[in-house]
Amino acid sequence: MTYLAVPIAVKTLQEAEEQIQAAVATGAELLELRTDYLVHLSVDLALKVIDAARQFAPGLPIIVTCRDYQQGGTLRHPNGLRTNVLTAAVRAGAEFIDVEYENFISVAIGSKISLALSTGTETRLILSAHNFQTKFKNITKHYWEIANVFSGAIPKLVYSAHHINECFDILDLQHGTMGEMIAFCMDEPGFMTRVLTKKFNGLVSFASIGEKMATAPGQPTVEQLRDLYRWDSINAQTEFYGVIGDPIAHSLSPAVHNACFAERGLNKVYVPLLVAGEQSDFNAFMDNILSRPWLGFKGFSVTIPHKEYAINYVKEKGGVIDPLAERIGAANTIIVNGSQLSAYNTDCIAAIDAITVGLGIDKAGLREMPVAVIGAGGGARAVVAGLADAEAKIKIYNRTVERAKHLAHDFKCDYASLDSLHKLKEKLIVNCTSIGMHPHIDASPVDVKLLQKHIAVFDTVYTPPETLLLKHAREIGCKTISGVDMFLKQAAEQFRLFTGQSPNVETMRGILTHK
Ligand code: NAP
């Protein structure tokens, strides 16, 4: 079993009692009592916190930790006191105590802990190693050093991942040894390891009661792990999907796809994958994933800034490119079928659908319509391809003019620099930049003075559902189309590609509009 563990990291006994009750209410399966947070730490106080856990969380196992300041502890408690707290926890029947491996191998601490554990107790020893800077040099060697230093010890190995491509050591370790351990990466790029550890039967994954209560960077809340990432349904057979992008924290794709997987009773979980960098970083990530089929990744959504990298990658690997994605030159969906990859673009049809429904016209109504497309990235490519197919009169405005020129050349349309937007004459404006997207919601790509009642505005940004651009346009009386409409359609199509089944679009809409 992989416990969903909540750290109780507070300064006083009273706060500990409150937090323990809150942890139980959120569905914690194990409590980590971080006694190093207690301001007036004493053996007596630590025992009172253990008693509180037994009283308010009966039946829940506990890990008692008194983390050394040098290794991520909060207060500078002396080694003698920390050791006494831990040995007292053993005598009090804690299921687990957590001792830093580096300290355990020092005779002064290790001998006292070993002695306490030798007295017929059921307490298990977790020996932990943290690296807050970078990866461990040789994590497998370190794992075995830790595992062999004390019979039955459970190694805990945790490091900060600055890039998602640094996470694979920890996944290899878990898959390679299948031993009992706690292993994950901190920070946002390491997020997937906190979910995947359940597939490999890791002992715990940590989660906080609320977002402000996280004890480590990148730690999710219990609610997120349980409700959003389908914690209870994850097992060795679970298939994984994810959205590759940067930034990615704002994405509603995990909520939408996981809700639909749950509704259809599918053993699939969808996670955010923060892949920073350019083509080479994208390629390295995909190589890392595909060389480890045991991870169980079967498909990806692809967003900013990777849609063009995605199609290049699939081509390079000899995969199948859907003709529409080929024509667009960008892919937002990759399907993994054994060693065979295929790339699709579900944005194009979704965008044209959103526009025609929003304007109350059919595709023929777009013929000769003057349209200003702002942006020239992967999303813009899909929109321009669809509009060009409908024979609209397109002008592309982009910050980087060279990129606009390139896109305009591919689809035989006009282009200009974003600075010349003040000369805009088009009847429909489509924003395909990320300007106005969460968290920068106070920005708009179009000066409000340029908007007039007869112009229709479609913003492909969907977080928030009404961007500042759409708000300005609505106030002026323009017809507006939200990125939510496009998002829903492209996500529904992706779901069909992922599962061969149709999603409940109303479930998707509910998530998008109520977040
Ligand atoms: P991308 O390939 O990275 O392209 C980003 C575009 O935004 C480029 O044209 C870039 O200009 C421009 N841009 C970014 N920051 C800018 C700034 N501060 N000032 C001026 N221009 C800026 O990303 P993408 O995949 O096309 O996505 C772009 C947006 O479309 C995102 O917000 C995404 O959520 C949205 N989208 C929505 C849907 C949907 O279903 N609703 C689908 C696809 C995309 P440069 O070329 O000068 O860098």
Of 298, 307, 395, 472, the catalytic one is 307
Give the residue, 212 or 348, on which the prediction is more confident. Answer: 348
Strands 370-374 and 340-344: unpaired
Which pLDDT value is given to residue 515?
A: 59
Share of the chain above pLDDT 90, in %: 94
130 labelled catalytic: yes
Gap between the Cα atoms of 24 and 30, Å rounded:
9
Residue nearest to atom 40 of ligand 1 (CA): 487
Q: 347 CB under 6 A from ligand 1?
A: yes
* Minimum-distance ligand 1 atom for the alpha carbon of 462: 41
Nearest to 433 by CA among 327, 305, 324, 308: 305
H helices of 229-290, where? 253-263, 279-290
Q: How far apart are the CA of 322 and the centre of ligand 1, in A?
A: 22
Q: 458 CB under 6 A from ligand 1?
A: no
Residue nearest to atom 44 of ligand 1 (CA): 379
Q: Amino acid identity of 220?
A: P
Q: What does the DSSP 8-state code read for residue 438?
A: T
Half-sphere exposure of 6 (CA within 13 A, CB side): 28
Gap between the Cα atoms of 127 and 452, Å rounded:
66
Is 215 a residue whose pLDDT tops 90? no
User: pLDDT, tens digit, for every residue of 290-308?
Assistant: 999 999 999 999 999 999 9
306-327 average pLDDT score: 96
Which pLDDT value is given to residue 178?
A: 84
Q: 398 CB under 6 A from ligand 1?
A: yes
Which pLDDT value is given to residue 465?
A: 92
Which residues, in sequence order, are CB contacts of 96 under 8 Å at separation 6+? 61, 62, 63, 64, 123, 124, 125, 126, 154
pLDDT band at 211 (very low <50, low <70, confident <90, very high): confident
Cis before 464? omega within 30: yes
Alpha carbon 2 to chain centroid, angstroms? 20
Gap between the Cα atoms of 70 and 162, Å rounded:
21
Q: 462 CB under 6 A from ligand 1?
A: yes
User: pLDDT, tens digit, for every residue of 9-63?
Assistant: 999 999 999 999 999 999 999 999 999 999 999 999 999 999 999 999 999 999 9
319-332 average pLDDT score: 95
* Minimum-distance ligand 1 atom for the alpha carbon of 491: 40
User: pLDDT, tens digit, for every residue of 122-143?
Assistant: 999 999 999 999 999 999 999 9
Residue nearest to atom 46 of ligand 1 (CA): 400
Token pair listed for 178: 């299948």
Residue nearest to atom 11 of ligand 1 (CA): 399
Token pair listed for 399: 């910050």
Ligand 1 mutation pick, 432, 462, 467, max ligand atoms within 8 A of CB: 432
pLDDT band at 91 (very low <50, low <70, confident <90, very high): very high
Altogether, the residues listed in the chain come to a count of 515
Which pLDDT value is given to residue 121?
A: 85
**Domains of the chain, each with CATH number or no CATH:** 3-235 (3.20.20.70), 242-345 (3.40.50.10860), 348-481 (3.40.50.720)
156 labelled catalytic: yes
* 414-417: strand order across its sheet: 414-417, 393-398, 370-374, 428-431, 456-459, 480-481
User: pLDDT, tens digit, for every residue of 246-289?
Assistant: 999 989 999 999 999 999 999 999 999 999 999 999 999 999 99
* 297-302: strand order across its sheet: 268-274, 239-245, 297-302, 333-337, 340-344, 320-321
Half-sphere exposure of 125 (CA within 13 A, CB side): 24
Which residues, in sequence order, are CB contacts of 314 under 8 Å at separation 6+? 320, 321, 331, 334, 341, 342, 343
